[in-house]
A and B are shown apart, each in its own frame.
Chain A
């Protein structure tokens, strides 16, 4: 079974803090993705990566950055958290041309 894990299920941070969200997959997938999910807005792609050290902007990259130093690990960084970044963050991985497998999600609250 494909396993995608995320470092935290729930996280509470203060405005202006630097936030790291970590994602690890165990299936040797080339592609990894970060989404945020908000009521009424659905899933929105923040960043994705095709390979180690490669990254591509998704639909809403502003205020976020990513890091992929190892194939199995993809990190999302909020340089200076703001209240409008309160959301459910979902990581996914997959092979090129194949479907995506999602992690359990991190519910981030920024106060």
Chain B
């Protein structure tokens, strides 16, 4: 079992839809949770960063962490064609002092007009 599982998609939705992207993980020591957005042929850019459990909102984006279920989500409201990209989840812990993140393989999202 991989440490971080993420459905590769593609996930295709109409403009304006609410999008839900998810990752599951197996390492209960993970404390830091991140979502990156990566456009084609570009580097990943940080979208959301949360520590431990709970929700965090930033504009149309909401990140949710459920540590009891080892499950994290990214919700995108009122999705736009410009949201079409690959979304990577990442998580890390302070165990051993390394903080090296473990990445999911990414979910490809297509928002069509």
Contacts and interface: CB of A to CB of B under 8 A. Distances in A.
A12 interface: no
Interface string B36-51: 1000011111100100
Contact of B49 (A41, A99, A103): A99
Nearest to B48: A99
Given A97-B94, A99-B34, A43 B103 contact: yes
A102 interface: yes
A96 B99 contact: yes
Nearest to A2: B46
B43 A104 contact: yes
A13 interface: no
B42 A104 contact: yes
Which of B44, B94, B104 has the largest number of chain A CB atoms within 10 A?
Answer: B44
A40 B106 CA distance: 9
A102 to B, nearest CB: 4
Given A43-B88, A96-B97, 16 more contacts: A42-B105, A45-B100, A48-B100, A96-B99, A98-B99, A99-B32, A99-B90, A99-B101, A100-B101, A102-B36, A102-B44, A102-B45, A104-B42, A105-B42, A105-B43, A107-B41
